[in-house]
Amino acid sequence: MARGKKQNPFAARKRQKRANGAPERPDRRAEPYKEIERDNASFIKYYHLQNICANEEEWTQFLASIRDNLPTTFRVTGFKDEAKALLNIIKTQLFTEYVRAVAELHELPAEQVERPLCLPWYPNGLAYQLHLTRKDIRRSEPLFRLHNFLIVETKAGSISRQEAVSMIPPLVLDVQPTDKVLDMCAAPGSKTAQLIEALHAAPEQHKIPPGFVLANDVDNNRCYMLVHQAKRLNSPCLLVTNHDSSFFPNLLQTDAATGNKSILKFDKILCDVPCSGDGTLRKNPDIWMKWNLAQAYNLHGVQYRIVRRGAEMLAVGGRLVYSTCSLNPIENEAVLQRIIKDADGALELVDAAHLVPGLKHKPGMTNWKLATKEVDAVYSTFDEVPEQLHTIIRPAMFPLPAKELATIGLEKCMRVLPHLQDSGGFFVAVIEKRRPLNFEKNDLQDLLQQQQQAETAPQPEPKLDAAGKPVEEKSTPWGPQRKRRRLHGYKEDPYVFFGEQDADYESIQQFYQLDESLNKRCLLTRCQTERKKNIYYCSEPIRDLVLNNEKNIKIINTGVKTFVRCENRHTAHPYRLAQEGLQTSNAFIGNSRRIQVERDDLVLLLNCTDPTKPPSTLELKPETQQRCKELGIGSCVLKYVDEAFTLFIVGWRGTSSLRAYVDRDETVHILRLLGADLSKFEVNKYEKAKEAAAAAAAEAAAAVDVAAQKAEPEELQESVGSDQD
């Protein structure tokens, strides 16, 4: 073994076992694929006895639906005119191709193909359901263009492939651009993305929304999935943290006007809690094999603790949404009746059905029973539960006495069952806070004291500029300053904010004529170095949150990449613009680095995918050439104005060239919006696979020929020999 190279302990153990003569485990991949049996006697017995359906006929429909595969749904992500333009393309070109492809797949006349369904309850007609499963789309050659569209536009952040029912909680949370929003169990982040979109829904009113989204998850690895998902939206108003929500610490905020500190209370909170997930049986059939009631009993406690902590952190007048993808009243109504009862009038369940008009749902249940794990004994009250089950089945899991229950308002909850509109199963409840909770802990003095202690602890001498001011305001995150793998994930790099006087800022400001209203102190890097590489931007409230709270909570990510160091011998300025940050920085950039381009020029620039051969300015329209001459070398903003939308794209003016600085997926997205030819980017993976197989076969045949030629003289000799015999 090479010195210093660590051995993989799992591989070492496997090698050791093999050396000891232990039998090899059978390779399951070699076994024929078995379709999962969509049945579970305990599940059926349990939900039948709960009367989740009105009658036997409906129950039969429920069972048929939950055993069926789930149709694919997607929504156009939207707070821009671009969304409307893309929707138009979807409704015309994509759906025409859809009908053609489905007709080919099912060998039907096109007139018989059912068109995609616009989800009536999703705002502005932006969400659609296809009559195809995810597997259909992934595995059928006639659908390759549809598949390519879904992949590319998802990566470009223009659509979200999200289960229909999962779109409901953010809608009923009703987020406004000024809201302070907490997403307590956020990963992998499909609902967080919706919350961010709602925050940015009024760009004409706010260059940067005053509100923010704090997205949290207890699972460190899933936090990175969340970062990946949310990054597509390029919001400077997002903070991702990694903490147990049931013990989420109180956070400090600074009042911008007075400088006073207070405990942060959120206007909107989403508690999309961990659950048994039996509402997702259509998408995840393996749950049929695992389902049992013990999961719900185990989860009830953590679900209650999360919603209780959420209620404490909610501002008076604020709104909290509790949701699960479980049908089980133990994880739903039992949790809600408990928190509403404990709040003693401070919390109220409200009806939010008007925010999803046309969504078919049932009211929350007001009567349910509990049972043993295998549902062989059923209990209506805690008195009936045998003592050995008292630690598993708790009194609070049973419905309250009828009179008390009537004051809770459980009927305002929404239960979505799969057969109602061919979707997954889901539960959602909306709570509003009328006054502070009796058990709410507002430990401002403790927090201030902790902060003071941390500030007075010995620190390395700060670097000062010529005027004697600190050069930069550095955050000290959890743990050491070097990224190192730990049991519970990575330690994060620090958040180093720009100081009042920053040489890099001065030069960026001059080159891009940045408007002073862009708060330079919200620019940050993720390392302490003289030579900054990537410069990020976050909104003012996010900066305040980071600096006030990073010692109490593990911050995983914030800021949008806005400037990137890019130096070569021709460049006058060391930083180029980053496309990710342009959505924010564009509103602050002056005219000196802008160039307006027409459609043909933009199509030409985007079609150039070889970075070593950028388009020559001589190929562009005379007006564009003239502007290029004036512009001089370096990063710039390409502006394109269409009747329906305006695009801003990062460009690069080279010595004799102009190029668009966007990645492949965004390139395809923009070309699509421009109605340009996409055939160059349209990869048919089936054709490619066939070509690869044909090439491999040809290679194998050639190898056989060569072997045969080599073998020929011997064979001839043999045959001569045998003749002689």
Q: Which is nearer to ligand SAM, 76 or 605 (CB)?
A: 76
The minimum distance between CB 222 and ligand SAM, in angstroms, equals 5
Ramachandran bin of 409, using left for φ above 0, alpha for ψ from -120 to 50, beta for the remaining angles? left
- Any known ligand binding at 189? yes
Write the Ramachandran bin of 120: left for phi over 0, alpha for psi from -120 to 50, otherwise beta.
Answer: alpha
CB contact set of 243 (below 8 Å; sequence gap of 6+): 216, 218, 249, 553, 554
Among 67, 145, 155, 222, the residue binding ligand SAM under the rule CB under 6 A is 222
For residue 217, state whether it binds ligand SAM (rule: CB under 6 A).
yes
> What is the spatial distance between Cα 331 and Cα 317, in angstroms, rounded to a whole number?
26
Among this protein's residues, is 325 annotated catalytic?
yes
- Residues 534, 560 contacting (CB under 8 angstroms): no
171 near ligand SAM, rule: CB under 6 A = no
Residue number closest to ligand SAM, CB atom: 185
Query: Which residue has 């070569």 as its token pair?
Result: 568
Question: Does residue 272 belong to the site contacting ligand SAM (CB under 6 A)?
Answer: yes
Closest CB to ligand SAM among 304 and 505?
A: 304
In contact, 178 and 268? CB cutoff 8 Å: no
- Residue 12 known to bind ligand: no
Nearer to ligand SAM, 275 or 546 (CB): 275
Pairing of strands 266-272, 180-183: parallel
For CA atoms 12, 18, 19, 22, the dihedral sign is positive
Smaller CB distance to ligand SAM: residue 210 or 274? Answer: 274
Show Cβ contacts of residue 643 under 8 Å, excluding neighbours closer than 6 positions. none
Q: Which is nearer to ligand SAM, 184 or 553 (CB)?
A: 184
> Cα–Cα distance between 120 and 610 in angstroms, integer?
44
Single residue of 172, 187, 213, 299 touching ligand SAM by CB under 6 A:
187
Stretch that binds ligand SAM, among 12-20, 105-113, 215-223, 385-393 (CB under 6 A): 215-223
Tell me whether strands 370-371 and 534-537 are parallel, antiparallel or unpaired: unpaired
Is 170 a binding residue for ligand SAM by CB under 6 A? The answer is no
- The one among 52, 172, 218, 676 contacting ligand SAM by CB under 6 A: 218
Of 187 and 620, nearer to ligand SAM (C-beta) is 187
| 78, 116, 189, 211: which one binds ligand SAM (CB under 6 A) | 189
Q: How far, in Å, CA of 335 to CA of 311, rounded?
A: 13
Q: Which of 223, 275, 325, 636 is catalytic?
A: 325
Which residue type is seen at 153?
A: E
User: Least separation, in Å, of the C-beta of 182 and ligand SAM?
Assistant: 11
DSSP 408-462: T-GGGSEEE-HHHHTS--EEEEEEEE-S--TT----HHHHHHHHHHHHHS--PPP
Q: Report whether 472 contacts 463 (CB < 8 A).
A: yes
283 forms part of the interface with ligand SAM (CB under 6 A): no
Residue from 75, 147, 191, 669 in contact with ligand SAM (CB under 6 A):
191
- Out of 71, 188, 310, 581, the only residue in the binding site for ligand SAM (CB under 6 A) is 188
Find the shortest distance in angstroms from Cβ 273 to ligand SAM: 6
User: What is the x/- site pattern for ligand SAM, positions 430-449, by CB under 6 A?
Assistant: --------------------
Helix 95-106, helix 144-155: angle, nearest 10 = 140
Query: Is 566 marked as binding a ligand?
Result: no
- Point out which residues bind ligand SAM (CB under 6 A): 166, 184-191, 217-219, 222, 244-246, 272, 274, 302, 306
User: Which residues are annotated as catalytic?
Assistant: 325
Known binding residues for S-adenosyl-L-methionine are: 185-191, 217, 244, 272
